Amino acid sequence: MAHDERRLEVLRAIVQDYVSSNDPVGSKALAERHDLGVSPATIRNDMAVLEEQGYITQPHTSAGRVPTDKGYRLFVDRLSAVKPLSMAERKAIERFLDGAVDLHDVLSRSVRLLAQLTRQVAVVQYPTLSRSAVRHLEVVQVAAARLMLILITDTGRVEQRVVDCPVDVDAEAVAELRTLLNSAFNGVRLIDAGDTVPDLVDNAPQHLRGLVATVSATLMETLVEPSEDRLVIGGTANLARGNALDFRGTVRPLLEALEEQVVVLRLMAQVDASTVLVRIGEENAHEALTGASFVSVGYGKADHPLGGLGIVGPTRMDYPGNMAAVRAVARYVGHLLAES
Protein backbone atom coordinates (compact mmCIF):
# COMPACT_ATOMS: atom_id res chain seq x y z
CA MET A 1 0.00 0.00 0.00
CA ALA A 2 2.44 2.58 1.29
CA HIS A 3 4.45 0.71 -1.22
CA ASP A 4 2.44 1.66 -4.24
CA GLU A 5 2.05 5.09 -2.81
CA ARG A 6 5.76 5.70 -2.83
CA ARG A 7 6.20 4.22 -6.25
CA LEU A 8 3.82 6.79 -7.64
CA GLU A 9 5.68 9.44 -5.76
CA VAL A 10 8.84 8.28 -7.48
CA LEU A 11 7.14 8.49 -10.84
CA ARG A 12 5.98 12.01 -10.12
CA ALA A 13 9.49 12.98 -9.10
CA ILE A 14 10.92 11.48 -12.27
CA VAL A 15 8.48 13.37 -14.46
CA GLN A 16 9.11 16.65 -12.71
CA ASP A 17 12.86 16.34 -12.79
CA TYR A 18 12.99 15.16 -16.34
CA VAL A 19 10.74 17.95 -17.54
CA SER A 20 12.85 20.59 -15.92
CA SER A 21 16.27 19.18 -16.68
CA ASN A 22 15.86 17.28 -19.93
CA ASP A 23 18.31 14.69 -18.61
CA PRO A 24 17.37 11.12 -17.88
CA VAL A 25 17.09 10.99 -14.13
CA GLY A 26 18.95 8.50 -11.96
CA SER A 27 18.22 7.11 -8.54
CA LYS A 28 20.88 9.11 -6.80
CA ALA A 29 19.75 12.48 -8.09
CA LEU A 30 16.18 11.61 -7.17
CA ALA A 31 17.09 10.79 -3.60
CA GLU A 32 18.95 14.04 -3.27
CA ARG A 33 16.38 16.37 -4.73
CA HIS A 34 13.22 14.92 -3.23
CA ASP A 35 12.43 13.94 0.34
CA LEU A 36 11.38 10.44 -0.39
CA GLY A 37 12.82 9.23 2.88
CA VAL A 38 14.52 6.23 1.35
CA SER A 39 17.89 5.51 -0.15
CA PRO A 40 18.83 5.40 -3.80
CA ALA A 41 18.96 1.64 -3.69
CA THR A 42 15.33 1.42 -2.70
CA ILE A 43 14.40 3.88 -5.37
CA ARG A 44 16.20 1.68 -7.85
CA ASN A 45 13.95 -1.18 -6.90
CA ASP A 46 10.87 0.97 -7.37
CA MET A 47 12.15 2.17 -10.69
CA ALA A 48 12.68 -1.40 -11.81
CA VAL A 49 9.03 -2.09 -11.07
CA LEU A 50 7.88 1.11 -12.81
CA GLU A 51 9.87 0.11 -15.82
CA GLU A 52 8.37 -3.35 -15.73
CA GLN A 53 4.92 -1.77 -15.75
CA GLY A 54 5.83 0.42 -18.67
CA TYR A 55 5.74 3.83 -17.02
CA ILE A 56 9.39 4.64 -17.52
CA THR A 57 12.20 3.45 -19.69
CA GLN A 58 15.91 3.91 -20.07
CA PRO A 59 17.25 5.29 -23.34
CA HIS A 60 20.23 2.98 -22.99
CA THR A 61 21.57 0.74 -20.30
CA SER A 62 23.07 2.83 -17.62
CA ALA A 63 21.51 6.11 -18.29
CA GLY A 64 18.77 7.36 -16.00
CA ARG A 65 15.10 6.74 -16.59
CA VAL A 66 12.71 8.70 -18.74
CA PRO A 67 8.91 8.67 -18.55
CA THR A 68 7.04 6.86 -21.30
CA ASP A 69 3.81 8.14 -22.81
CA LYS A 70 2.03 5.85 -20.40
CA GLY A 71 4.01 7.40 -17.56
CA TYR A 72 3.01 10.91 -18.56
CA ARG A 73 -0.57 9.78 -18.86
CA LEU A 74 -0.60 8.50 -15.30
CA PHE A 75 1.06 11.68 -14.18
CA VAL A 76 -1.53 13.85 -15.85
CA ASP A 77 -4.46 11.79 -14.66
CA ARG A 78 -3.51 11.19 -11.06
CA LEU A 79 -0.36 12.93 -9.99
CA SER A 80 -0.64 16.52 -11.07
CA ALA A 81 -2.45 19.17 -9.15
CA VAL A 82 -3.87 22.05 -11.10
CA LYS A 83 -1.27 24.72 -10.89
CA PRO A 84 -2.88 28.09 -10.27
CA LEU A 85 -1.59 30.89 -12.43
CA SER A 86 0.50 33.55 -10.82
CA MET A 87 -0.95 36.99 -10.40
CA ALA A 88 1.53 38.26 -12.94
CA GLU A 89 0.26 35.78 -15.47
CA ARG A 90 -3.35 36.74 -14.90
CA LYS A 91 -2.43 40.35 -15.33
CA ALA A 92 -0.54 39.51 -18.48
CA ILE A 93 -3.58 37.81 -19.95
CA GLU A 94 -5.78 40.80 -19.31
CA ARG A 95 -3.29 43.30 -20.54
CA PHE A 96 -2.65 41.26 -23.62
CA LEU A 97 -6.20 40.61 -24.65
CA ASP A 98 -7.92 43.79 -23.70
CA GLY A 99 -7.83 46.33 -26.44
CA ALA A 100 -8.39 43.81 -29.20
CA VAL A 101 -10.38 45.55 -31.88
CA ASP A 102 -11.99 42.69 -33.73
CA LEU A 103 -12.29 38.94 -33.87
CA HIS A 104 -9.10 38.36 -35.74
CA ASP A 105 -7.31 40.59 -33.31
CA VAL A 106 -8.64 38.66 -30.34
CA LEU A 107 -7.55 35.38 -31.81
CA SER A 108 -4.13 36.44 -32.96
CA ARG A 109 -3.43 38.06 -29.62
CA SER A 110 -4.55 34.87 -27.91
CA VAL A 111 -2.24 32.77 -29.96
CA ARG A 112 0.72 34.97 -29.22
CA LEU A 113 -0.19 35.05 -25.57
CA LEU A 114 -0.48 31.29 -25.32
CA ALA A 115 2.78 30.78 -27.13
CA GLN A 116 4.47 33.15 -24.76
CA LEU A 117 2.98 31.69 -21.59
CA THR A 118 3.72 28.10 -22.45
CA ARG A 119 6.72 28.52 -24.67
CA GLN A 120 5.14 26.09 -27.06
CA VAL A 121 3.37 26.26 -30.39
CA ALA A 122 -0.09 27.68 -29.89
CA VAL A 123 -3.18 26.99 -31.95
CA VAL A 124 -6.47 28.84 -31.88
CA GLN A 125 -9.50 27.88 -33.88
CA TYR A 126 -11.91 30.40 -35.35
CA PRO A 127 -15.40 30.06 -33.89
CA THR A 128 -16.91 27.14 -35.71
CA LEU A 129 -19.42 28.33 -38.23
CA SER A 130 -21.76 25.46 -37.63
CA ARG A 131 -22.18 26.45 -34.00
CA SER A 132 -22.60 30.16 -34.65
CA ALA A 133 -25.77 32.02 -35.48
CA VAL A 134 -26.43 34.66 -38.11
CA ARG A 135 -26.22 38.19 -36.81
CA HIS A 136 -26.56 39.90 -40.15
CA LEU A 137 -26.48 39.16 -43.83
CA GLU A 138 -25.37 41.91 -46.13
CA VAL A 139 -25.72 42.08 -49.88
CA VAL A 140 -23.53 44.45 -51.81
CA GLN A 141 -23.72 45.04 -55.50
CA VAL A 142 -20.29 44.76 -57.01
CA ALA A 143 -21.22 44.91 -60.67
CA ALA A 144 -24.40 44.80 -62.70
CA ALA A 145 -24.69 41.04 -62.45
CA ARG A 146 -22.44 40.35 -59.54
CA LEU A 147 -23.29 40.50 -55.86
CA MET A 148 -21.23 40.04 -52.79
CA LEU A 149 -22.77 38.25 -49.84
CA ILE A 150 -21.41 39.00 -46.43
CA LEU A 151 -22.24 36.91 -43.43
CA ILE A 152 -21.63 38.21 -39.94
CA THR A 153 -22.01 35.76 -37.11
CA ASP A 154 -22.83 36.40 -33.49
CA THR A 155 -19.19 35.78 -32.64
CA GLY A 156 -18.04 38.51 -34.96
CA ARG A 157 -16.78 36.23 -37.65
CA VAL A 158 -17.20 37.59 -41.17
CA GLU A 159 -17.45 35.46 -44.29
CA GLN A 160 -17.84 36.70 -47.82
CA ARG A 161 -18.76 35.17 -51.15
CA VAL A 162 -19.17 36.57 -54.60
CA VAL A 163 -22.27 35.51 -56.51
CA ASP A 164 -22.59 35.79 -60.26
CA CYS A 165 -26.15 36.28 -61.40
CA PRO A 166 -27.44 35.20 -64.78
CA VAL A 167 -29.10 38.56 -65.35
CA ASP A 168 -28.50 42.12 -64.25
CA VAL A 169 -29.91 43.15 -60.93
CA ASP A 170 -31.23 46.56 -59.97
CA ALA A 171 -30.57 48.33 -56.71
CA GLU A 172 -34.12 47.98 -55.51
CA ALA A 173 -34.03 44.22 -55.89
CA VAL A 174 -30.83 44.15 -53.88
CA ALA A 175 -32.50 46.04 -51.07
CA GLU A 176 -35.48 43.72 -51.10
CA LEU A 177 -33.18 40.74 -51.12
CA ARG A 178 -31.31 42.07 -48.14
CA THR A 179 -34.49 42.51 -46.12
CA LEU A 180 -35.74 39.12 -47.15
CA LEU A 181 -32.56 37.33 -46.21
CA ASN A 182 -32.23 39.04 -42.89
CA SER A 183 -35.76 38.41 -41.80
CA ALA A 184 -35.37 34.79 -42.80
CA PHE A 185 -32.00 34.13 -41.24
CA ASN A 186 -31.55 36.54 -38.40
CA GLY A 187 -30.58 34.62 -35.30
CA VAL A 188 -30.72 31.26 -37.02
CA ARG A 189 -27.94 28.87 -36.08
CA LEU A 190 -25.91 28.07 -39.13
CA ILE A 191 -26.32 24.39 -38.61
CA ASP A 192 -30.07 24.85 -39.01
CA ALA A 193 -29.85 27.28 -41.90
CA GLY A 194 -30.09 24.53 -44.48
CA ASP A 195 -33.67 23.85 -43.49
CA THR A 196 -34.67 27.44 -43.95
CA VAL A 197 -33.47 27.80 -47.52
CA PRO A 198 -36.22 25.85 -49.37
CA ASP A 199 -38.95 27.83 -47.59
CA LEU A 200 -37.19 31.00 -48.50
CA VAL A 201 -37.22 30.24 -52.20
CA ASP A 202 -40.84 29.11 -52.15
CA ASN A 203 -42.06 32.14 -50.29
CA ALA A 204 -40.10 34.71 -52.25
CA PRO A 205 -42.16 37.19 -54.26
CA GLN A 206 -42.44 36.25 -57.90
CA HIS A 207 -40.08 38.84 -59.31
CA LEU A 208 -37.30 37.85 -56.92
CA ARG A 209 -37.66 34.12 -57.32
CA GLY A 210 -34.73 33.65 -59.71
CA LEU A 211 -32.42 35.89 -57.79
CA VAL A 212 -33.19 34.26 -54.48
CA ALA A 213 -32.59 30.83 -55.94
CA THR A 214 -29.18 31.82 -57.28
CA VAL A 215 -28.12 33.45 -54.09
CA SER A 216 -29.43 30.63 -51.99
CA ALA A 217 -27.18 28.15 -53.74
CA THR A 218 -24.10 30.10 -52.73
CA LEU A 219 -25.54 30.69 -49.32
CA MET A 220 -25.92 26.98 -48.80
CA GLU A 221 -22.26 26.49 -49.58
CA THR A 222 -21.22 29.18 -47.18
CA LEU A 223 -23.54 28.39 -44.35
CA VAL A 224 -23.84 24.70 -44.46
CA GLU A 225 -20.51 23.41 -45.68
CA PRO A 226 -18.62 22.50 -42.57
CA SER A 227 -15.37 23.15 -44.38
CA GLU A 228 -14.53 26.69 -43.53
CA ASP A 229 -12.90 26.13 -40.19
CA ARG A 230 -9.77 28.12 -39.81
CA LEU A 231 -6.83 28.16 -37.47
CA VAL A 232 -4.42 30.74 -36.23
CA ILE A 233 -1.02 29.33 -35.40
CA GLY A 234 1.81 30.99 -33.56
CA GLY A 235 4.95 30.41 -31.62
CA THR A 236 6.48 28.03 -34.10
CA ALA A 237 9.80 29.56 -33.19
CA ASN A 238 9.51 27.58 -29.99
CA LEU A 239 9.98 24.43 -32.00
CA ALA A 240 13.45 25.52 -32.91
CA ARG A 241 14.38 25.95 -29.30
CA GLY A 242 15.38 22.87 -27.32
CA ASN A 243 17.04 19.77 -28.59
CA ALA A 244 15.48 18.93 -31.87
CA LEU A 245 15.51 15.50 -30.27
CA ASP A 246 12.50 16.49 -28.23
CA PHE A 247 10.57 15.22 -31.17
CA ARG A 248 11.57 11.95 -32.66
CA GLY A 249 13.57 12.94 -35.68
CA THR A 250 12.98 16.45 -36.88
CA VAL A 251 10.33 19.08 -36.47
CA ARG A 252 9.62 19.05 -40.17
CA PRO A 253 6.66 16.68 -40.23
CA LEU A 254 5.19 18.48 -37.28
CA LEU A 255 5.37 21.83 -39.02
CA GLU A 256 3.83 20.30 -42.09
CA ALA A 257 1.00 18.85 -40.10
CA LEU A 258 0.36 22.19 -38.45
CA GLU A 259 0.21 23.97 -41.79
CA GLU A 260 -2.06 21.28 -43.07
CA GLN A 261 -4.57 22.39 -40.44
CA VAL A 262 -6.77 19.41 -41.08
CA VAL A 263 -4.97 17.28 -38.54
CA VAL A 264 -5.29 19.87 -35.82
CA LEU A 265 -8.88 20.65 -36.69
CA ARG A 266 -9.77 17.02 -36.26
CA LEU A 267 -8.30 17.09 -32.80
CA MET A 268 -10.08 20.33 -32.02
CA ALA A 269 -13.38 18.78 -32.95
CA GLN A 270 -13.17 16.66 -29.83
CA VAL A 271 -12.76 19.37 -27.24
CA ASP A 272 -15.38 20.58 -24.86
CA ALA A 273 -15.17 23.69 -22.77
CA SER A 274 -15.27 22.17 -19.32
CA THR A 275 -12.31 19.84 -19.22
CA VAL A 276 -8.85 20.22 -20.67
CA LEU A 277 -8.08 17.54 -23.18
CA VAL A 278 -4.56 16.14 -23.16
CA ARG A 279 -3.28 13.82 -25.84
CA ILE A 280 0.13 12.40 -25.25
CA GLY A 281 2.52 11.13 -27.90
CA GLU A 282 1.30 7.92 -29.44
CA GLU A 283 -2.23 8.70 -28.35
CA ASN A 284 -2.33 11.04 -31.30
CA ALA A 285 -3.39 8.93 -34.18
CA HIS A 286 -1.59 11.05 -36.73
CA GLU A 287 1.96 10.00 -37.37
CA ALA A 288 3.47 13.46 -37.37
CA LEU A 289 2.18 14.09 -33.88
CA THR A 290 3.72 10.96 -32.45
CA GLY A 291 6.27 12.32 -30.07
CA ALA A 292 4.24 15.43 -29.49
CA SER A 293 1.59 16.22 -26.94
CA PHE A 294 -1.48 18.29 -27.51
CA VAL A 295 -3.22 20.21 -24.76
CA SER A 296 -6.51 21.81 -25.67
CA VAL A 297 -9.84 23.03 -24.44
CA GLY A 298 -12.92 24.62 -25.91
CA TYR A 299 -13.88 28.22 -25.37
CA GLY A 300 -17.40 29.54 -25.09
CA LYS A 301 -20.29 27.84 -23.35
CA ALA A 302 -19.39 24.58 -21.70
CA ASP A 303 -21.91 22.46 -23.56
CA HIS A 304 -21.60 24.22 -26.90
CA PRO A 305 -18.03 25.45 -27.31
CA LEU A 306 -17.55 28.01 -30.07
CA GLY A 307 -14.19 26.61 -30.97
CA GLY A 308 -11.03 25.25 -29.43
CA LEU A 309 -7.58 26.41 -28.61
CA GLY A 310 -4.49 24.71 -27.31
CA ILE A 311 -0.83 24.07 -27.60
CA VAL A 312 1.40 21.50 -29.20
CA GLY A 313 4.75 20.59 -27.73
CA PRO A 314 7.07 17.75 -26.93
CA THR A 315 5.73 15.03 -24.66
CA ARG A 316 8.32 16.29 -22.23
CA MET A 317 6.39 19.39 -21.21
CA ASP A 318 5.10 21.06 -18.09
CA TYR A 319 1.60 19.61 -18.16
CA PRO A 320 0.15 21.27 -15.07
CA GLY A 321 1.42 24.69 -16.09
CA ASN A 322 0.36 24.38 -19.68
CA MET A 323 -3.05 23.03 -18.81
CA ALA A 324 -3.60 25.97 -16.50
CA ALA A 325 -2.51 28.47 -19.13
CA VAL A 326 -4.66 26.95 -21.83
CA ARG A 327 -7.70 26.94 -19.61
CA ALA A 328 -7.20 30.48 -18.43
CA VAL A 329 -6.83 31.87 -21.93
CA ALA A 330 -9.84 29.91 -23.13
CA ARG A 331 -12.00 31.36 -20.36
CA TYR A 332 -10.91 34.86 -21.17
CA VAL A 333 -11.49 34.45 -24.87
CA GLY A 334 -14.88 32.95 -24.14
CA HIS A 335 -15.86 36.01 -22.14
CA LEU A 336 -14.59 38.42 -24.75
CA LEU A 337 -16.53 36.79 -27.54
CA ALA A 338 -19.66 36.35 -25.50
CA GLU A 339 -20.00 40.03 -24.78
CA SER A 340 -19.08 41.42 -28.16
Partner DNA sequence: ACTGGCACTCGCACGGACAGAGTGCCAGGC
Partner DNA sequence: GCCTGGCACTCTGTCCGTGCGAGTGCCAGT
- For DNA, the binding residues (CB under 7 A) are 2-3, 6, 23-29, 37-42, 44-45, 47-48, 51, 58, 60-65
> Which residue in 229, 265, 233 sits closest to 130, CA to CA?
229
Q: What is the nearest approach in angstroms of DNA to the Cβ of residue 50?
A: 10
| Beta carbon of residue 141, minimum distance to a second copy (angstroms, whole number) | 9
Compare residues 48 and 162 and give the one whose CB is closer to a second copy: 162
Handedness of CA 229, 230, 235, 237 (dihedral sign): positive
> What is d(CA 334, CA 327) in angstroms, rounded to the nearest whole number?
10
Q: Is 163 exposed, middle or buried (0-12, 13-18, 19+ CB in 10 A)?
A: buried
Please choose which of DNA, a second copy, none residue 252 contacts, taking the beta carbon within 5 to 8 angstroms, the exact cut-off set by kind. a second copy
Binders in 69-108 for a second copy, by CB under 8 A: 101-104
Centroid of chain to Cα 42: 42
> Does residue 63 bind a second copy (CB under 8 A)?
no
State which of residues 48, 140, 220, 262 lies at the interface with a second copy (CB under 8 A).
Answer: 140
For a second copy, the closer of residues 40 and 156 by Cβ is 156
Pick the closer one to a second copy by CB: 233 or 273: 233
Task: Name which of 51 and 283 has its Cβ closer to DNA.
Answer: 51
CA 195, CA 201: separation in Å to the nearest integer?
Answer: 11
Q: Closest Cα to residue 232, out of 313, 114, 135, 117?
A: 114
DSSP labels, 115-142? HHHHTSEEEEEPPPGGG-BEEEEEEEEE
Residues that bind a second copy (CB under 8 A): 101-104, 112, 135-136, 138, 140, 142, 148, 150, 152, 156, 158-162, 221, 230, 234-237, 239-241, 250-253, 255-256, 259, 340
